[in-house]
């Protein structure tokens, strides 16, 4: 992962995407509301939490015990600044790589826009981490850019041996349905669909994205079919 790039982004633009919850958090919230999936009092792990905008929202909305981790020290500094202003006993942040988290299992694991910035071996490590950290019957929620994403598809220098991966300012990997279903064979997919949206950024600019939204359960669940 291009850690130095993201450290620089958080240092210069700080809260790059504003303070409102992102598209992935809204999709996760919608799934829980529609299915009445039990979340209150559970443990939530946010992998690649950034400055915590999604975690703060979901922790308040779901009344969970929430832990956010990120490899960027600058991101975690921003998250802890916000936590100091609005103290919440059910929220904590850690400066850590997802590979180093070992205090599972967690009932809920959430990863928004992390998979897409990882090189091939680290994506595999993320899948193994989810398998280790997610409790039986637990809920996994992921968003990652689609191979049809208009902002990044085909832009930059292709990464040899890693299809749909380019380096422009930083590494970006784009996924298709077959890749995601193969990456998480231990999950029962509840929803897997493409979502098109406009993403506001610091300074007033916007990006046009198409992302995959993936919601799945681990084992002993009634299950459902991916849309």
pLDDT tier at 223, thresholds 50, 70, 90: very low
**205-227 as b/e, with b when 16 or more CB fall inside 10 Å?**
eeeebbbbbbbbbbeebeeeeee
- pTM of whole model > 0.75? yes
pLDDT at 87 exceeding the cut of 90: no
Query: Do 219 and 136 touch, CB atoms closer than 8 A?
Result: yes
Please name which of 173, 106, 94, 98 lies closest in space to residue 129, comparing C-alpha atoms: 98
Percentage of the chain beyond pLDDT 70 is 96
How many angstroms separate the Cα of 124 from the Cα of each of 5, 25, 68, 128, 165? 21, 23, 20, 6, 15
DSSP code per residue over 3-29: HHHHHHHHHHTSSTT-SS--HHHHHHH
Task: Please give the pLDDT value at position 16.
Answer: 84
pLDDT band at 89, cuts 50/70/90?
Answer: confident
Q: Which band of pLDDT confidence, cut at 50, 70 and 90, is reported for residue 12?
A: confident
Average pLDDT over residues 21-46: 96
What is the per-residue pLDDT for 9?
A: 83
CATH architecture of 3-13+32-186: 3-Layer(aba) Sandwich (3.40)
């Amino acid at each position: 992962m291009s850690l130095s790039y993201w450290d620089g982004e958080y240092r210069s633009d700080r809260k790059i995407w504003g303070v409102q919850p992102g598209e992935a958090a809204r999709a996760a919230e919608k799934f829980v509301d529609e299915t009445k999936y039990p979340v209150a009092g559970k443990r939530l792990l946010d992998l690649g939490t950034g400055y915590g905008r999604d975690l703060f929202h979901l922790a308040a909305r779901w009344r969970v015990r929430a832990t956010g981790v990120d490899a960027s020290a600058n991101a975690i500094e921003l998250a802890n600044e916000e936590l100091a202003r609005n103290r919440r006993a059910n929220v904590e942040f850690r400066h850590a790589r997802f590979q180093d988290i070992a205090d599972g299992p967690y009932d809920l694991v959430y990863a928004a826009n992390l998979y897409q910035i990882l090189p091939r071996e680290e994506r595999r490590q993320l899948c193994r981490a989810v398998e280790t950290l997610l409790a039986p019957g637990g809920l996994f929620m992921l968003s990652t850019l689609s191979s049809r994403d208009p902002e990044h598809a085909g832009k930059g220098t292709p990464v040899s041996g890693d299809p749909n991966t380019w380096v422009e300012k930083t590494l970006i990997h784009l996924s298709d349905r077959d890749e995601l279903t193969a990456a998480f064979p231990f999950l029962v997919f509840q929803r897997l669909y493409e979502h098109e949206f406009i993403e506001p950024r610091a300074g007033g600019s916007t990006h046009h994205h198409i992302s995959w939204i993936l919601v799945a359960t681990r084992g002993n669940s009634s299950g459902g079919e991916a849309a």
